Amino acid sequence: MTRITLLMAMVPFVLITILSCGGGGGGGNSSDDGSSGGGGLIVAANCPDNDGDGYLDVICGGADCNDSDPNINPLIREICADNIDQNCDGSDKTCSDGGAAAHSSLNWDGSPGICLTCHLDQAEDVYASTHYQWQGETPYMTHGPQLQGKIAGAVNSYCINILGNWSTCGNCHVGLGVQPQATDFPSQAQLENIDCLICHQIEYRRKKVAGIFVPDAANMAITLNEAVQTVHRPTRANCLQCHAKAGGGDAVKRGDLALASAATADLRYDIHMAVSGGNLNCQDCHAVRQHRFAGKGSDIRPTDLDIQIACSACHTHKATGRGHSSSAVNRHVARVACQTCHIPYYSKDADDSTASEATETHRTWLSTSSAAAPFHPDSTRARNLVPKYRFWNRYSENYLLGDIARLDSATGAYPTSRPEGFVDDESPASKLYPFKYKTAEQPILDATGQLIALDTNVYFATGDPDSATSAGLVNMGYSGNEAYNWIITDTFQLLNHQISPESEALSCSDCHGNSARMDLKGELGYHLKASQSQVCSQCHGKEERKDFKDLHEEHVEEERYDCSHCHTFSRPERNLR
């Protein structure tokens, strides 16, 4: 199997350590005749895998020398001279291995492939990753080809598609400016196009010259020699320089990520990343294997590393159904995601940030308030937003370039991303999650009903939506004179960050007391299966009217009736009758 195919097909795995237990103090090795030497093979019992990396702890014969860090196990490639034994071989590899000088004595020689001398394997891994290819396998998309991504048909309600504007969209690519090429074996030029410092040196700055990124030494706080001598694992700030600015600016796209996430001490803003709180790095949750990262939102098509991120990896007892002090909350953990209660609001402002962390809620390409180039479409931004709630079973239907757009009668808009899942979904993965909801005004081709990938390069230069749409039609293979109209698109984006302190988690009344936050009976499917009088008369006559809480406790907690007695769905995992 070629390198690209191999890495794109990586899936989670579990290794069970087999212990050889010989008798009488012998080593337990098999004898020449094939006998077991009196020992036999047994599987290590109750051996932990605390970091979920598939390797068992060395304390009971496993191979994981640090079972609290998923980035340390025998599969991980060693990073030289960082005082960490990544591959559990008993020592830290020195950078003199293979004939290269240690980082501490390196000097920047100006060549784009300076890192390849020692790190060719790592460069090949990066080349095969979603961060470089901008496409990848899509096991959780419900339609479309196997490979999808920014560079392979993805359409959203922000800049629509990168078609025609690699020069600007590629500013957040981990390359030096050349577009990626998905081939079985990367060329030397493609490997040299990888910009290692963008992720591994927080003081690194770059600028574009004739379409190619070069170091911007004048705006760096350290020299280029110091930069290569002090490379490090990516910090939050490294990741956020792109991920926080997706969509055209700080906090614009995701709604739960902003540049403030790098250094804020505001616990209410994000208790996990606040330096006064968990102070977690991205990799603490997003497991890494050979430069491939676990984790993706519902609107992101490729799966870079198919390992599910779960809150229970750290908060192990909270997922047991006994981890909360309230029995009512414990009953919800099987069908309500942790984020639903612990992200009561998103697009919050950090108390110690002077910037605005407001996120974009609507964008129109029909007008611009910019006085000169680059012209940006007008947009509406807001903060302290209540999420939209939907059931999600980890699958999504996302619009691809060339699809026929379909109007969603429930929202009155044309979807670019929808989480799959319903209240009656039998999948155990289906839970209620919080989402950012965003709309945009975009062009659609009259003849086919396809969304048009407006050429943002033309728009940024002219501010003219008609010229940009005409250029977009040509990019898509149509005549620039085709008839088109403007419609509203919308998208749902999973929220995972900006976790609030425990004291601010939602209470029962926030969801069950009224429909201001979530419409349980309408949008979410908790309506009665018939009129209230018909449902109640199944078992008894006229009864005293009770509020929801008392009514629910009497029928479910006391009498143990399954949901299907009153609703159109069941909850078999609760063992009701």
Q: Which residues have a Cβ under 8 Å from the Cβ of 438 and sit 6 or more positions away?
A: 157, 158, 255, 360, 361, 362, 363, 490, 491, 493
Q: Say which residues have a Cβ less than 8 Å from residue 161's Cβ, sequence separation at least 6.
A: 153, 154, 155, 401, 453
> Length of the chain in residues, anyone?
577
Which is higher by pLDDT, 556 or 430?
Answer: 430
321: CB partners within 8 A, 6+ apart: 330, 331, 333, 334
Residues 410 and 551 in one domain: no
Q: What is the dihedral of CA 397, 402, 403, 404, to 10 degrees?
A: 150
In a domain, 387, yes or no: yes
Q: Which residue has the higher pLDDT, 509 or 28?
A: 509
Residue 442 confidence (pLDDT) above 60: yes
Lowest mean pLDDT segment, chosen from 23-32, 240-249, 265-274? 23-32
* 8 A C-beta contact, residue 308 and residue 286: no
Q: SS3 of 228, please?
A: helix
In the predicted model, is pLDDT for residue 30 greater than 70? Answer: no
Q: Residue 60 forms beta bridges with which residues?
A: none
Phi, psi of 533 (to 5 degrees): -65, -40
Is the pLDDT score of 245 beyond 50?
yes
For the chain, the C-alpha Rg in angstroms (whole number) is 27
Place of tokens 């490379």: 231
pLDDT at residue 65 is higher than 50:
yes
Among 77, 98, 119, which residue terminates a domain? Answer: 98
Find out whether 413 and 439 touch, Cβ atoms under 8 Å.
yes
Q: What is the mean pLDDT of residues 398-411?
A: 97
Going by pLDDT thresholds of 50, 70 and 90, the confidence category of residue 102 is low
- Whether 2 shows a pLDDT value over 70: the answer reads no
Q: Which of 12-26, 263-277, 309-323 has the lowest mean pLDDT?
A: 12-26
Residue 14 above 60 pLDDT? no
Residues 469 and 551 in one domain: no
* Helix/strand/coil for 368: strand
The pTM of this model reads 0.83
**Spatial separation of the C-alpha atoms in residues 370 and 361, rounded to whole Å:** 19
Do residues 532 and 497 both lie within one domain? no
In the 3-class helix/strand/coil scheme, how is 543-562 assigned residue by residue? Answer: CCCCCHHHHHHHHHHHCCCC
pLDDT of residue 53: 87
81 pLDDT tier (thresholds 50, 70, 90): low
So what's the pLDDT on residue 500? 97
Q: Is the pLDDT of residue 10 over 80?
A: no
Predicted pLDDT at 45 = 54
Q: What's the pLDDT score for residue 95?
A: 56
* pLDDT(18) > 60: no
Is 553 or 270 the better-scoring residue by pLDDT?
270
Whether the CB-CB separation of 11 and 54 falls below 8 Å is answered with no
Helix, strand, coil % in the chain, rounded to nearest 5: 25, 15, 60
In one letter, which amino acid is 466?
D
Residue 197 lies in a domain: no
Q: Exposed, middle or buried by CB within 10 Å (0-12, 13-18, 19+), for 359? A: buried
Closest to 269 (Cα-Cα) out of 174, 170, 384, 377: 384
Mean pLDDT of 423-433: 92
Q: Residue 299: is its pLDDT beyond 90?
A: yes
Point out the domain boundary residue: 467, 486, 502.
502
Q: Which pLDDT score, from 0 to 100, does residue 32 have?
A: 35
* pLDDT category of residue 294 using cuts at 50, 70 and 90: very high
pLDDT above 70: percentage of residues in the chain: 90
- The whole-number pLDDT of residue 4 equals 45
d(CA 5, CA 146): 12
**pLDDT higher than threshold 70 for residue 259:** yes
Domain boundary among the residues 98, 127, 160 is at: 98
**Domain check: are 468 and 554 in the same one?**
no
Q: How many domains does the chain have?
A: 3
Domain range enclosing 40: 1-98
- Judge whether 383 lies within some domain: yes
Place of tokens 């030096």: 176
Residue at 542 is within a domain: yes
- For residue 277, CA distances in Å to 267, 270, 271, 354 come to 6, 8, 5, 20
AA letter at 72: I
Report the distance separating Cα 28 and Cα 446, nearest Å: 75
pLDDT in tens, 531-543: 888 888 888 876 6
Q: Is it the case that residue 97 has pLDDT exceeding 80?
A: no
Same domain? 394 vs 532: no
Which residues are 364's β-sheet partners?
A: 378, 441
Assigned domain for 345 exists: yes
pLDDT at 36 over 50: no
Under the banding of pLDDT at 50, 70 and 90, the label for residue 5 is: very low
Question: Residue 468: inside a domain, yes or no?
Answer: yes
Least confident span in 49-53, 75-79, 318-322:
75-79
**Domain match, 380 and 462 both:** yes
Q: Which two tokens stand for residue 405?
A: 């757009």
Q: Which residues on neighbouring strands pair with residue 490, listed in sequence order?
A: 415, 439
Query: Is the separation of the CB atoms in 332 and 556 below 8 Å?
Result: no
pLDDT tens, residue by residue, 307-318 = 999 999 999 888
556 lies in the same domain as 418 = no
Tokens 């977009």, residue located = 472
Query: Average pLDDT in the 518-539 region?
Result: 87
Q: What is the mean pLDDT of the chain?
A: 88
**One domain, residues 556 and 466:** no
pLDDT at 526 over 90: no
| 450 and 397 belong to one structural domain | yes
Answer yes or no: is 12 within a domain.
yes
Reply yes or no on whether the pLDDT at 20 is more than 50.
no
Residue 536 located in a structural domain: yes
The one-letter code for the residue type at 282 is C
Instruction: Give 21 or 115, the one with higher predicted confidence.
Output: 115
pLDDT given at position 80? 67
Q: Does 425 lie in the same domain as 568?
A: no
Q: Which of 90-94, 317-321, 493-497 has the lowest mean pLDDT?
A: 90-94
Tens-place pLDDT, residues 130-174: 999 999 999 999 999 999 999 999 999 999 999 989 999 999 999
Q: What is the pLDDT of residue 390?
A: 97
Q: 434 and 351 in one domain? A: yes
- Give the helix ranges, DSSP H, for 452-564: 456-462, 465-475, 508-512, 532-536, 548-552
485 plus 554 within the same structural domain: no
